[in-house]
Amino acid sequence: MGQDSSGWELRLSDGLHAAAARSPGKPALLCDGRAYSYGELSSRVRRVCGAARRSGLRRGDRAAVFAPNCLEYPELVVGLSDAGVVVATLNARSTPHEIAAACDDCEARVLFVHGGLAAAAHAARFATVERIVVLGEQYEAWLEGAPESPPLAGVRATDPFALVYSSGTTGQPKGILLSHRSRALTFHAMAMEYACYGPDDVQLGLAPMAHGAGFAFIMATLYFGGTVEVLTRFEPEQVVARLAEDRFTGVFMVPTHFQAIFGLEKPALERHRGRAGRLRTIISNAAALPQSTKEAIIDYWGPGRLHETYGSTEAGIVTNLRPQYQLTHRHSVGPAFGLNTIRLLDEAGHEVERGAVGELYSSSPYLFNGYWNQPEETAAARRDGWVSAGDLARQDADGFYYIVDRKKDMVVTGGFNVYPREIEEILHHHPAVLEAAVVGVPDDYFGEALRAFVVARPGQNLDPSALEGHCREYLAGYKVPKEYRVLEGLPRNAAGKVLKKELRDRST
């Protein structure tokens, strides 16, 4: 760990540099046919730090990275953070308008951009960006001759290293400030919980590093000296084949990854059924994993591997359902994750009785520093030092939590409170349904009426009357959707979350 006059500071780069000192020739990071050993990666991180300081970037300045998964992504985030620079990680699908809006919002001075996205970056009109550095020859020239600089002495564990822009499912994206300490301690808890982040482990990295979870589940491997192979794009058939190799010990995926895999044509899917090689840990996060999908994962890759993790960029990992409980505690997201304390509160801020529904607040060392330049939004997410992502939950007698729904997604129809997630779980159990989302839409009689949007499995047809009959078998009448609309796919953001606002806004 870095040391300054006030004592030891826990920083994002500590584990990586320690792994390099221990095993400099060991493979660290592989991506798109290129690779770094730990010695090479540590050297490049230090050169990024040196180049940032040489170019005039100071502690507290902001830079932005606009790139898909690539070999340079970790070295940029870690090296810039060693220089005290806060790194805004931008969605690789952003438009020039969105790129400029994010950079202007955080007053980024430098934008690092992947060559394949350079045209979009140069088309943006910035108020604060002084320089655009394109990865490749231009980036290597920026690094050329830079000293290998150690972490800046003044960087504290509680300083932010990243500014992650929210996915914007309910409104304008917000910049979420994450500290070195929050993520370094998360990595230590992950190593304990998932048992796939040791120096002998090999991870397959799929999720975009521009998002909090995508970066964390890849960076944790580098923090503890394992090896990670990062894919530049997700291709379901390729992923299934790679996981069948006798190579990978862990993988993190979001529910849309699983939906795409189980949406493959049967011959492609069955070719690798039951073949998991060394794979012992499958982690799902970022959105709700339907119980039917959990059962499909266990059936396909075998028991004893699946973890479903609940959390948010603001709160970090909050709960985790371990493999042995996937079928015994159905629909649960597990007990509290390590170092977490959870409270379920009513509107007045009082804890609800066990079994009752309340808004989930958590307290842990993983909490965010706040929203960038949005004190009112920060205050709204916090209550006496506890943080909420706006989810409603209940707790059972065993201490396991169940996410009932997003607070903003609850529907009041005919005077009844209805949680769409319950209906979606029932629809997911219909054999012809691949995906489902339920929203409330204005209705003169009921106030709000339930509308279901469904996606068919390959080769299946969806009959609205059959879906209604399926729902009536399991749900009270007031919970049965009044309408069913068949889509080719649900609208989702880059993190895999369904854009329910877009569904609600669709024309009648």
Closest CA to 440 of 391, 379, 506: 506
pLDDT at 2 over 70: no
Question: What's the CA gap between 196 and 192, in Å, rounded?
Answer: 9
Percent of the chain with pLDDT over 70: 97
SS3 state at 89: strand
Percent of the chain with pLDDT over 90: 78
Q: How far is CA 110 from CA 28, 57, 83, 335, in A?
A: 27, 9, 14, 42
**DSSP-derived secondary structure for 300-333:** HH-SS-EEEEEEETTTEEEEEE-GGGTTTSTT--
Give residue 6's pLDDT band: very low, low, confident or very high (50, 70, 90). very low
Query: Exposed, middle or buried: residue 59 (CB in 10 Å: 0-12, 13-18, 19+)?
Result: middle
Please give the pLDDT value at position 172.
62
Question: What's the CA gap between 98 and 96, in Å, rounded?
Answer: 5
Average pLDDT over residues 278-291: 91
pLDDT tens digits, residue range 143-182? 999 999 999 988 999 999 999 987 544 446 789 999 999 9
Average pLDDT over residues 244-264: 92
Least confident stretch, 168-177, 246-255, 328-337: 168-177
Residues 318, 340 contacting (CB under 8 angstroms): yes
Question: What's the CA gap between 29 and 461, in Å, rounded?
Answer: 44
User: What's the residue count for the chain?
Assistant: 508
Residues 296, 262 contacting (CB under 8 angstroms): yes
Written in H, E and C, the secondary structure of 352-401 is CCCCCCEEEEEECCCCCCEECCCHHHHHHHEECCEECCCEEEEECCCCCE
Which residue ranges make up each domain of the chain?
2-179, 184-407, 410-505
Please give the pLDDT value at position 71.
97
Q: What is the bridge-based pairing of β-strands 175-179 and 306-312? A: unpaired
> Residues 6 or more apart from 268 whose CB is under 8 A from it?
237, 240
Expressed in angstroms, the distance from the first to the final Cα of the chain is 58
Average pLDDT over residues 213-237: 96
SS3 state at 293: helix
Cβ of 162: how many Cβ atoms within 10 Å?
26
Chain Cα centroid distance, residue 47: 28
Please give the pLDDT value at position 39.
98
Q: Which phi and psi (to 5°) does residue 82 adopt?
A: -65, -30
Q: What is the bridge-based pairing of β-strands 382-383 and 316-321? A: unpaired
Residues 236, 204 contacting (CB under 8 angstroms): no
Average pLDDT over residues 91-113: 93
Strands (E), 245-297: 250-253, 281-284
Q: Do 2-179 and 410-505 have matching folds?
A: no
Average pLDDT over residues 77-93: 96
Maximum distance among all Cα pairs of the chain, rounded to whole angstroms: 71
The CATH classification number of 184-407 equals 3.40.50.12780
Helix (H) or strand (E) segment spanning residue 268: helix 266-270
pLDDT tens digits, residue range 479-495? 999 999 999 999 987 66
Residues 257, 296 contacting (CB under 8 angstroms): no
Please give the pLDDT value at position 445.
77
Question: What's the CA gap between 165 and 174, in Å, rounded?
Answer: 5
Average pLDDT over residues 170-197: 90
Give residue 62's pLDDT band: very low, low, confident or very high (50, 70, 90). very high
Virtual torsion, Cα 103, 105, 106, 107, nearest 10 deg = 70
Please give the pLDDT value at position 506.
78
Average pLDDT over residues 121-144: 97
Chain Cα centroid distance, residue 390: 16
Please give the pLDDT value at position 167.
56
Chain Cα centroid distance, residue 158: 21
pTM for the predicted model, two decimal places: 0.85
- Find tokens 């304990």 and name the residue: 192
Give residue 7's pLDDT band: very low, low, confident or very high (50, 70, 90). low
pLDDT tens digits, residue range 412-467? 887 777 888 889 999 999 999 999 999 998 887 788 899 999 999 988 999 999 99
Here the tokens at position 127 are 């108020």
pLDDT tens digits, residue range 388-407? 988 999 999 999 999 988 88
Please give the pLDDT value at position 355.
96
Closest CA to 180 of 366, 374, 386: 366
Give residue 108's pLDDT band: very low, low, confident or very high (50, 70, 90). very high
Mark 107-138 as b/e (b = at least 16 C-beta within 10 Å). Answer: ebbbbbbbeebbebbeebebebbeebbbbeee
- How does DSSP classify residue 349? S
Closest CA to 304 of 276, 331, 330: 276
The CATH classification number of 410-505 equals 3.30.300.30
Please give the pLDDT value at position 394.
96
Please give the pLDDT value at position 1.
46
Average pLDDT over residues 361-390: 94
Question: What's the CA gap between 375 and 352, in Å, rounded?
Answer: 28
Which one has a higher pLDDT value, 462 or 8? 462
**Mean pLDDT for the chain?**
92
Query: Exposed, middle or buried: residue 179 (CB in 10 Å: 0-12, 13-18, 19+)?
Result: buried
Residue type for position 471:
C
Question: What's the CA gap between 323 and 281, in Å, rounded?
Answer: 9
Domain 2-179 CATH class label: alpha beta
SS3 state at 9: strand
Least confident stretch, 6-10, 104-108, 472-476, 495-499: 6-10
